[in-house]
Amino acid sequence: MTKLDKFIEQLKNIFGSRLKSVFVYGAKAGEKADNLLQDVDLMVLVTDLRGEDIKKCSKPAREWMGKSCIFCSKRNALPVFMGEKEWYNSSDVYAMEYSDIKENHKILYGEDLICNINVNRDDLRLQCEAETKNLLMQFRAHYLMNAHSHIMLQKSLVPLTKTLNAIFKAILRIKNIEVSKSPYENLNKIHSLFAINKSFYEKLLCHKEKHCTLNKKEAIDTADTAVAELQKLLDYVNNL
């Protein structure tokens, strides 16, 4: 029995017939079940999720999060637990996340509660705008606090790049353009829509994938460009 099988069995013992669905979402959704060992995102959907259920699931969830194998340093993400009604009522608030889940998921147990989810374009555009505004404000604040430290500026570029990738995918979906699994291909598609600084975004991707590092001047220049590019991106999203 794999670690994943054990976790699902524990959930079945805790919830019984109330356990509606367990599925993988995100980058690992396309992997075979035997390869779901680390860095796995899980969603657990339950009928009538209660406080005492969370307490009972605490130990199994922490065991699932722990090191996935003796030689692995990466951990699994904390599983997301939701009630069935909550799941169906949240596609407007989490339009970007639900769009990703619909395209990248694997049912591990129970019913497919994803196929009937419809993401509204207006909800997707609204969340895209909110995420872009929040990203701009957060990055400005981070730059304000860490302008003296190129090391801290470099660290901020990885989460910045991840959020930008999510925003780019949302924009493509709003424009009814197919989303690619490659962030570089999605970048090319975004570049065809409006005048972004493509070389800047390519540098961010390179840095995130640890193919290149930035010296002090490059880190500061990149932060300066990031503020300008985020403002440009926000102006574009506002007009979608």
The strand pairing partners of 46, in sequence order, are: 19, 83
User: Is the residue at 136 inside a domain?
Assistant: yes
Tell me how far apart the alpha carbons of residues 44 and 8 are, in angstroms, rounded to a whole number. Answer: 9
More confident residue, 73 or 95: 95
Same domain, 53 and 156: no
Does the residue 115 lie in any domain?
A: no
Whether the predicted pLDDT of 74 surpasses 70: no
pLDDT digits over 223-234, tens only?
999 999 999 999
The pLDDT score that the predictor gives to residue 212 is: 81
pLDDT digits (tens, 9 = 90+) for 133-142: 999 999 999 9
Last residue of a domain, one of 110, 132, 149: 110
C-beta of residue 128 within 8 angstroms of C-beta of residue 96: yes
- Tell me the C-alpha distance between 94 and 211, whole Å: 32
Percent of the chain scoring above 90 in pLDDT: 75
Residues 221 and 189 in one domain: yes
Spatial contact of 41 and 28, defined as CB atoms under 8 Å apart: yes
CA angle, 19 then 104 then 116, to 5°: 55
Q: Are 139 and 226 in contact (CB under 8 A)?
A: yes
Residues 196 and 103 in one domain: no
pTM above 0.85? yes
Instruction: Identify the weakest region by mean pLDDT among 103-107, 153-157, 193-197, 210-214.
Output: 210-214
Q: In this structure, is residue 125 part of a structural domain?
A: yes
70 pLDDT higher than 90: no
220 and 126 share a domain? yes
SS3 at position 236: helix
Question: In whole angstroms, what is the distance from residue 162 CA to residue 156 CA?
Answer: 11
Taking the C-alpha atoms of residue 78 and residue 16, their distance in angstroms, rounded to an integer, is 21
Q: How confident is the model at residue 35 (pLDDT cuts 50, 70, 90)?
A: low
Point out the domain boundary residue: 45, 80, 110: 110
Mean pLDDT across the chain, nearest whole number? 91
Tally the domains of the chain.
2
Q: Mention every residue, 6+ apart, whose C-beta is less than 8 A from residue 72.
A: 37, 38
* Percent of the chain residues topping a pLDDT of 70: 95
Nearest in space to 239 (alpha carbons), one of 132, 99, 135, 93: 132
The range of the structural domain enclosing residue 135 comes to 121-238
Is residue 98 domain-shared with residue 73, that is, in the same domain? Answer: yes
Q: Any idea what the CATH number is for the domain that residue 51 is in?
A: 3.30.460.10
Are 175 and 91 in a shared domain? no
Among residues 73, 91, 110, the one where a domain terminates is 110
Mean pLDDT of the 154-175 span = 95
Asked if pLDDT for residue 44 goes beyond 90, the answer is: yes
Render 55-69 in DSSP notation, one character per residue: HHHHHHHHHHHSBSS
| pLDDT number for residue 150 | 87
